[in-house]
Structure 1
Amino acid sequence: MIKMTENYIQLPPLPCDTPTEIIEIVWTYSRMEKSDKEKVLTFMRENMASDIELSEKQKMIKLIEESKPSPYVEEFHSLMQKLIGTLIAQSCEMSALVYQKYCIEKNSIKEISETFHVPENSVELMAQYYDTKLK
């Protein structure tokens, strides 16, 4: 991102099919102060590390909650919560769809992919999971 002046932000070109939720998150993040961006990135990196104990993650969350974040940080947090909720819901729907179509109705991976306009490799990944669990 190139900052043109203090009042304007130039975003890089984004694919035309970028979901609106992602654009909102990028836009909100781009408006944050540099120090807030660094805090958010550090928080996300540390929380995504698999070797960190739960108590350490809880300390980091408490620290962020107790600090006085800018409105952009709060908005970013809210948008991320919504996005994660949407992704979880979509994953559950996709999982149920693959289970129904692949495991019960015995449709092929290619057929499911074409019917629901989902990448074949995504359907295949879930089909492999069900193949493993149902054996």
Structure 2
Amino acid sequence: METDYIQLPPMPSDTPTELVAVVWIYARMEKPEKEQFLDFMRENIKSGTSDGEKEKLMELIEKSKLKPSPYVEEFHSLMQELIGTLIAQACEMSALIYQKYCIEKKSIKEISEIIHVPQNAVELMAQYYENKMK
């Protein structure tokens, strides 16, 4: 019996574990499942797709007699968890930058060094807060 191997792409060492799990599940999917999933993602991400069209697509998938593979279901679950984690991290970073920039009046460079985030990201959020305070 021949063993099948999966090669994951190189990822930064601080990649969230949820993202590594999502990539792992995707790598284990069969080619037709990958193509079906990518088509679904492209259709949902494509601008100009109305919510009604997305709901119709979801209904069609739910009504179809085809049972998604456990990999697809696990991938879907992990994607939901990953998106939730990313939203929580974005909110946390936003609050931290607000505290450091608006309350403590630290410079963008100082904030960047303290929280280990690129200066341009801190600057973007600082500009947002400046515009809101006007």
Q: TM-score, normalised by structure 1?
A: 0.87
Deviation for aligned residue 1:60:
2.0
Of the two structures, which has the highest relative contact order with CA contacts closer than 8 Å and spacing of 6 or more?
2
Alignment of 1:105-116 (within 5 A): 105-116=104-115
Deviation for aligned residue 1:100:
1.2
State the 4+ residue runs in structure 1 displaced beyond 4 angstroms: none
For residues 76 and 54 of structure 2, the distance between their equivalents in structure 1, rounded to whole angstroms, comes to 16
For residues 3 and 71 of structure 2, the distance between their equivalents in structure 1, rounded to whole angstroms, comes to 16
Structure 1 residues 38-47 or 55-64, which shifts more?
55-64
1:59 corresponds in structure 2 to 56
What are the ranges of 5 or more consecutive residues in structure 2 without an aligned counterpart? none
2:92 corresponds in structure 1 to 93
Whether 1:78 and 2:64 are equivalent positions in the alignment is: no
Structure 1 residues 17-26 or 105-114, which shifts more?
17-26
Tell me the SS of whatever aligns to 1:9: coil
* Count of residues paired in the alignment: 131
Name the structure where strand makes up a greater proportion of residues: 1
What are the ranges of 5 or more consecutive residues in structure 1 without an aligned counterpart? none
Structure 1 residues 108-117 or 12-21, which shifts more?
12-21
Q: What is the root-mean-square deviation in Å for CA atoms of aligned residues?
A: 1.7
Q: Please, which of 36, 41, 63 is the counterpart of residue 39 of structure 1? A: 36
Percent of aligned positions with the same letter in both sequences?
69
Q: TM-score, normalised by structure 2?
A: 0.87
